[in-house]
Amino acid sequence: MSERQTAKPPTHATRLVVNRSSRRGAPIQAIAVHSTESSDIKASWDDLKSVGNWFNTSAAQASSHIGIDGDGHSSRWVPDDEKAWTILQLNDRTLNIEFVGRAAQPRDDWEAAQIKTGARWAAYWAIKFGLPIQLGAVKNINGAPVISRKGIIRHSDLTAAGFGSHTDPGPNFPMREFLENAQWYRRNGWYLN
């Protein structure tokens, strides 16, 4: 693989937050997608700055690896080798993308630039960590959440397995389009537009 294919996707801003910790050697098994439950502000960094500010407070007790707004801007908040605090018992086994938006928003409100930037990150992580780009699965096994199929999961998949109450990124999130874009970027190079 060429140096260009293994380089990191462009991060438009990096601000590491305090809410992060060690993975303690746990292997990464999935990429989890979330919605911030906040509004996307067009042509502005204020949406990502606001989420980053919240993740950088001890009151939040939450974080994510990256955030992506509707313009396709991305912010890095937690390094890959550390655990973000976003998906309960699966934190140590996931990489997490926060899409600026709401679980209840219509499909047309998810921006193409946002989905493509997220897909580029998913392709990069899939190559780096040997993950398949497919819809993953979470099961409740003996009262514990287990990633039963590696790939890309939604926070709502954990809820469906009986853990928590999150519905993000919502039923209208274009998951199929996201997966297809990620597969394309994996085959052809995440660095292509």
38, 53, 144 from 116: Cα distances, Å? 20, 25, 33
User: Where do the structural domains in the chain lie, given as residue ranges?
Assistant: 27-188
Among 17, 84, 14, CA closest to 56: 17
What is the average pLDDT value for the chain, to the nearest integer? 94
> Whole-prediction pTM value?
0.94
Give the integer Cα–Cα distance in Å for 119 and 100: 15
Whether the pLDDT of residue 143 is over 80: the answer is yes
Whether the pLDDT of residue 144 is over 80: the answer is yes
pLDDT of residue 6: 52
Confidence bin at 3 (pLDDT 50/70/90): very low
What is the Cα 61 distance to its own chain's centre? 17
pLDDT of residue 1: 45
Q: What is the pLDDT of residues 180-191, one digit of tens each?
A: 999 999 999 877
72, 96, 114, 118, 143 from 179: Cα distances, Å? 17, 15, 13, 10, 29
Q: Please, which residues have CB within 8 angstroms of residue 2's CB and are 6 or more apart in sequence?
A: none
What is the Cα 85 distance to its own chain's centre? 12
Structure tokens at 151: 């790939």
Pick the range with the lowest mean pLDDT from 1-5, 13-17, 72-76.
1-5
Give the integer Cα–Cα distance in Å for 58 and 179: 33
pLDDT higher for 51 or 1? Answer: 51
Q: Pick one of 3.40.80.10, 3.90.220.20, 1.10.10.10, 3.40.50.920 as the CATH number of 27-188.
A: 3.40.80.10
Whether the pLDDT of residue 79 is over 70: the answer is yes
Residue 61: count of CB within 10 angstroms of its CB? 9
Characterize the bridge pairing of strands 94-99 and 30-35: parallel
Structure tokens at 95: 């990489």
**What is the pLDDT averaged over residues 73-93?**
97
Give the integer Cα–Cα distance in Å for 185 and 187: 5
